[in-house]
Amino acid sequence: MPKFLMRLFSFTFILAAIPVISIGIISYFISSNDIEEKVKEGNMQVLLQTQMRVEQVLKTLELTSLQYINSPLVINALNANLTSDDFAEVRSLSTGLYNLQTFTSVREAYFVNIQKDWMISFSTFGKYSTFAERDKFAEYAKRPNTSLFWDTGTGKNDKTADSSAGAAEESFALPAIRMVYKIPVVPTLSQPKALLVVEILNNQVSSLLSNNKKLGDVFVLDREGNNFLADNNESENNKAIHELVLQKVHASQDEFGFFNTKVNGTELGVSYRSSPYNGWIYVSSVSIEDITKQSKKIAWITFIVCTILFALIALFAFYGSRKMYSPIKRLSEFTKDIHVEGQDNRDEFVSLEKRFRTMFSTEKQLQQQVSGQFTQLKEFFVLKLFTGQLSDNDFAYRSQMYGFPTEWSRLGVLTVQIDSLDETRYEEHDRELLLFAINNIVGELVPQNKRFSPVLLDQSQVTLIASDLENEDELKVHFYQTAELIKNKIDEFLQLPVSIGISRPFHKVTEAVQGYGECLEALKCRMSLGHTIIVHFEDIDAGKQPMEVTVYTQLKLLEDQLVNALKLGDVERVDVIFDKYITAIVNKDIHFNEYPVLMMQLISKAFQLVQEQGGAVKKVLGDKASIEHFLKLNTLEDIIKWFKIILFEPIISFLNQQAESQYLNIATQMVRLVHERYDQEISLEACASILNFHPVYLSRVFKKEMGINFSEYLAEYRMNMAKTWLENTSWKISEIAEKLSYTNTTAFIRTFRKIVGVTPGQYREQYNREQ
């Protein structure tokens, strides 16, 4: 492989590969971070839902217990010395306790009257002084500053008192969570009269936790960080997590949070929420490795896609490099016959450099070639100026290099055109040579420091003149005198009739494009003023008379008649009306400059007619039917021919084709409207409003193309939708009628039975039996 081709291929491949690698790496890290964030959000949502479920159960039990405590039965029993003989009262109190199970799975409930020394549970009644857990209940009664607290069985843990309240005690474990109410609820004494203790089994609370293992393990901690719902086989890993969560909660005081940690070599993501209700902490831990499993899949997919892209890049880079190298290869082959001493064939550019040095061996030869082309470069620069291809900055840079004027007060454009070669000694093939001679005459007559390079542009000789004059009248006289001098010298040396157009003065050199256009506009006055004239653009602009309103009204009427004839495809009528249109313009002696302005309205209506019928102007009419092409026409004969052949004939042919397919298109659009709006108020009048046709016309077209009335088609389509819903949903008949925009269910049933043969209810029963 040639050395430069190898370099080109390598550079192209690397240039394309770097973005692919960068995008692959960035997309992988973004997707990995997004997955981790989604898992975090999912875990936090699971914890919130778990917290809400657990607290809903606890609050329900709390409210039910409070109702029981405030019942007259309990209030009266506080001061009663009940014994086993008070069967009715004991049974009523026991029944009230038992009713607490209505709202949650309560394992056991105790109503203890401390002052009267008796207690009741679900199944027993006895002396409080002989109760096995009398000491524990006594400790409950002594807890200060709270009427309600929850005992998780792992130490002191209530919902209102802080962790320092009360004396320290030995840890103990319970298979259940206890809710303790002091009675009365609003304490008047330091020692309560009675207690209500309700036990909920731990496994009942555990059943409320999330079982979605994809988002990790969920567990609940008390205020001391103990997982009171776990069994005795809890792993050391979870205990380490409990301690870290407790530290985070105490350190940040935030209600929820997330952190990463490593426990026994396993990296974990831990989410937590601290409940203000009872101080419990809801924790979820998930392995980071599990989170990143999906990221690894994305990494592999990214790698495979990048590999494929590398292969495609290499293929296109090789193909593109060969294409880019082909000019160098052809140039090398083209110059291979040039003999160079010590030629190195391994590097193409080194060989080409030596060959070119041989071709341009001396500075003198190079200067001669550049000097010969310098004049052409100056003219080319001015041509770009007149065609609007230069900015002010480009001009400022180049103007001084080419020796053009750099300072002036005003600028102006003079444009010379040959009027006619008739009755002269010249032939048409001499026109180019004559323009070249005129260009040389102008270059000799106008001082170099007062002009830019004279150029030939579109059968015109154009000169940009600079002047120091400020007064408008003086400037106008100066430009006229210069033009008159040029005209006289051309007549003297060439005996050639010419006319000269003069633009308005301007300041910025980039306005030369507009000045050239003004000169051409001024030269059009030859149609009315004759040949060999010198005319300012300001003079023709001031001399224009406003067009008569009656002319415009007549032309507008003829334009509308022409459009209607085109719609009907009547070629003969189009020709007759267009001849009247041209006659109306010519007979009114309208200025030739106004022909395009007047006819532009007709062209616009013709284009609009094509677009209204769904056609693309360029596709239907072709490249010649453009405004640019029309404006280049110079004679009335060419204009008439352009209208009849280029514009009218393709339009008539296109409209005839459109008429054949219009009916089918309208019917298709109406069917589409039925399918899209069957569940809305839709009618033939609504379709007519949307499609901009008369309802009677649409009804006739739809009947012709579809073989069925519009209302019948709409009803059948709605009943087909109703059958689908009757088969696949449990919606009521009234609901289906409402969804199909029937305000009256009876009307819907009547229509369904008319089309299907059975009522909607009968149809659903038949379908269910068949299934």
Predicted pLDDT of residue 340: 64
We report the CATH number of the domain holding residue 494 as 3.30.70.270
Residue 438 has pLDDT above 70, yes or no: yes
> Is residue 475 within 8 Å of 412, Cβ to Cβ?
yes
430, part of any domain:
yes
Boundary residue ending a domain (240, 259, 289): 289
424, part of any domain:
yes
The DSSP bridge pattern shows strands 498-502 and 534-536 to be parallel
Predicted pLDDT of residue 294: 63
What single-letter amino acid sits at 401?
M
Mean pLDDT rounded to a whole number for the chain: 80
Boundary residue ending a domain (289, 310, 344): 289
6, part of any domain:
no
Predicted pLDDT of residue 348: 66
40, part of any domain:
no
> Is residue 16 within 8 Å of 313, Cβ to Cβ?
yes
We report the CATH number of the domain holding residue 670 as 1.10.10.60
Using the structure block, give the residue that is written with the tokens 């100066």: 478
Domain carrying residue 149: 46-289
Predicted pLDDT of residue 174: 57
189, part of any domain:
yes
Residue 441 has pLDDT above 90, yes or no: yes
Give the CA angle between residues 118, 119, 120 to the nearest 5°. Answer: 140
Using the structure block, give the residue that is written with the tokens 């010298």: 489
Is there a single domain that holds both residue 377 and residue 505?
A: yes
Predicted pLDDT of residue 754: 92
Q: Tens digits of per-residue pLDDT, 148-191?
A: 888 887 654 444 433 333 333 333 445 788 889 888 877 655 68
Is there a single domain that holds both residue 273 and residue 385?
A: no
The model's confidence at residue 360, banded by pLDDT at 50, 70 and 90, is low
Predicted pLDDT of residue 169: 39
Predicted pLDDT of residue 231: 66
303, part of any domain:
no
Predicted pLDDT of residue 43: 79
Residue 427 has pLDDT above 80, yes or no: yes
125, β-bridge pairs? 120
Catalogue the long-range contacts made by 91-94 (C-beta closer than 8 Å, 24 or more residues apart).
Answer: 93/120, 94/120, 94/121, 94/122, 94/125
Q: Tens digits of per-residue pLDDT, 239-257?
A: 777 777 877 777 777 778 8
> Is residue 621 within 8 Å of 650, Cβ to Cβ?
yes
Residue 77 has pLDDT above 50, yes or no: yes
Which token pair is 399?
């103007």
Residue 24 has pLDDT above 50, yes or no: yes
439, part of any domain:
yes
Q: Tens digits of per-residue pLDDT, 280-312?
A: 888 888 877 776 666 667 777 877 888 888 788
528, part of any domain:
yes
Helix (H, G, I), strand (E, B) or coil at 609: helix
Is there a single domain that holds both residue 104 and residue 248?
A: yes
Boundary residue ending a domain (241, 271, 289): 289
Range from 542-551, 658-667, 694-703 that averages highest in pLDDT: 694-703
**Per-residue exposure over 582-615, b if at least 16 CB sit within 10 Å of its own CB, e if not:** bebbeeeebbeeebeebbeebbeebbebbeebeb
Helix (H, G, I), strand (E, B) or coil at 699: helix
Q: Is the dihedral of CA 353, 359, 362, 363 positive or negative?
A: negative
Which token pair is 313?
């890049």
Predicted pLDDT of residue 101: 75
> Is residue 177 within 8 Å of 150, Cβ to Cβ?
yes
Identify the residue with better confidence: 52 or 526: 52
Range from 392-401, 428-437, 585-594 that averages highest in pLDDT: 428-437
Residue 234 has pLDDT above 60, yes or no: no
Q: Tens digits of per-residue pLDDT, 378-418?
A: 888 888 888 888 777 777 777 777 778 878 889 999 999 88
Residue 628 has pLDDT above 70, yes or no: yes
The DSSP bridge pattern shows strands 148-151 and 125-126 to be unpaired
Phi/psi-derived region of residue 144, left when phi > 0, alpha when psi is between -120 and 50, beta in every other case = beta
Identify the residue with better confidence: 169 or 761: 761
Predicted pLDDT of residue 617: 81
Predicted pLDDT of residue 490: 92
Predicted pLDDT of residue 168: 34
Q: For 89-103, 147-161, 683-697, which range has the lowest pLDDT when averaged over its residues?
A: 147-161
Residues 439-445, mean pLDDT to the nearest whole number:
92
Identify the residue with better confidence: 389 or 709: 709
